[in-house]
Amino acid sequence: MQFGYILEIVNKLKEKYEFTKFGLGMAGSISKGKVLKSVNLGIKEYDITGKLENATGLKVNVKNDAKCAAIAEYKFGKCKNYKNVLFLTLGTGIGGAYIYQGNLMEGSVFEGFEFGHMIIKENGLLCNCGKKGCFEKYASILTFKKKIIERLNLSYEISGPDLRHEMKLSENKIQDIEEEYVDNLALGLSNLINIFEPDCIVIGGGFARYDYILLEPLKDKIINSNLLFNPRQDIIIEAAELGNDAGVIGASII
């Protein structure tokens, strides 16, 4: 794994500020500063903390990126007024965190809360983790965008703003993709609601750029379908307020 970009940023900051440590949000399962595995990055048993500390001469705190984003959103974003918060990041995969009574919940051996690898389809699509039918194979934003790009015969290199523009021009051609995506997202999310019964749900990552077409249908699907053990008249689901900065902000205060 290359981390030259991190070193470049750290060295630039050293020119302006005095500091002795920094935080890093990292995709994957993290334990004691080591990446046990990051299936979407293709690495495992990687001592990123030790390598960065040796390279920079600084103390480094490493935590799963979704947990970092959840901490930031809880302290400064949309869920700061709630005690029990379910947080998901939808991007290349799906990351997650749960804040209970103001505290980030974590396992004693592994950080846990790997919502993306909850199985929602028996013998479904093969996931990078080696299992079949994982939530993130059906409800990541990457999956959503790829299906639309293929349906509209667009380049995989298309920018986000350009893709959203094309989607607006072709609403009738992609409606079934949007509906299928919402169905799958609602299925996985309802399982988590049944387990945790959160006061508030916040969804970050790339989802925040498509919330204008996905958020209300998602709420409607969860409330009006027979998915919840304890039915609700309303449910608080918000797009993350801090955007891509959430993980950076959270990593700085872990």
Count the alpha carbons within 13 Å of 151 in the hemisphere toward its beta carbon. Answer: 18
CB 58 within 8 A of CB 22: yes
pLDDT of residue 23: 86
Question: Is the pLDDT assigned to residue 210 strictly greater than 80?
Answer: yes
**All domains in the chain, ordered by first residue:** 4-64 (no CATH), 67-248 (3.30.420.40)
Which residues 6+ apart lie within 8 Å of 40 measured at CB? 27, 28, 92, 93, 128
Average pLDDT over residues 87-103: 93
Q: Return the higher-pLDDT residue of 37 and 144.
A: 144
Average pLDDT over residues 62-90: 90
Per-residue pLDDT tens digits for 110-140: 788 999 999 999 999 999 999 999 999 999 9
Residues in the chain: 254
Question: Is the pLDDT assigned to residue 62 strictly greater than 90?
Answer: no
Question: Is the pLDDT assigned to residue 200 strictly greater than 70?
Answer: yes
Per-residue pLDDT tens digits for 6-60: 888 888 888 898 888 888 888 888 888 888 888 888 888 888 888 888 888 889 8
Per the prediction, the chain carries an average pLDDT of 91
Q: Report the alpha-carbon distance of residue 217 to residue 226 in Å, rounded.
A: 15
Average pLDDT over residues 155-160: 94
Residue 206: DSSP 8-state: G
pLDDT of residue 190: 97
pLDDT of residue 1: 59
